[in-house]
Amino acid sequence: MIANYGYKDGSGEYYISIDTDKCTSCTAGRACLTACPKGMFEIITDDYDDEVAAVKQAFRRSLAFDCTDCKPAGGYTSLPCSAACTPGAIKHSW
């Protein structure tokens, strides 16, 4: 399942997509949990009883601001969450 967490507003479209099929057999040791400097990810049990990564509820409506520090303007050349997730489950839409 591709889970898109985020929103679209007047300034753009801000979604973090998680391919949860890649989470069920995570080979990165749930690295997303520690890679995000703000700790935006959590592991939840989804509707199909799989343990998958998700963006915490509190961050879902403020991604444009919370992720800013990890974008190129913050000095990063790649996103820490996407880079840590070696199965390639995490993508940003912006």
Instruction: Work out how close the CB of 68 gets to another protein at its nearest, in angstroms, rounded to a whole number.
Output: 16
Tell me if 73 contacts another protein by CB under 8 A.
Answer: no
Q: How far apart are CA 8 and CA 49, in angstroms?
A: 29
The answer to whether residue 8 forms part of the interface with another protein (CB under 8 A) is yes
- Closer to another protein at the Cβ: 9 or 69? 9
Q: Is residue 6 within 8 Å of residue 15, measured between CB atoms?
A: yes
Q: Does 15 bind another protein (CB under 8 A)?
A: yes
Q: Is 7 in the site for another protein (CB under 8 A)?
A: yes
- Residue 93: name the closest of 30, 3, 22 by CA: 3
**By C-beta, is 21 or 76 nearer to another protein?**
21
**C-alpha to C-alpha distances, 93 to 3, 24, 46, 63, 67, nearest whole angstrom:** 12, 22, 22, 11, 12
- Residue 33 in contact with residue 23, Cβ under 8 Å? no
User: Residues in contact with another protein, total (CB under 8 A)?
Assistant: 18
- Residues in contact with another protein by the rule CB under 8 A: 1-10, 13, 15, 46-48, 60-62
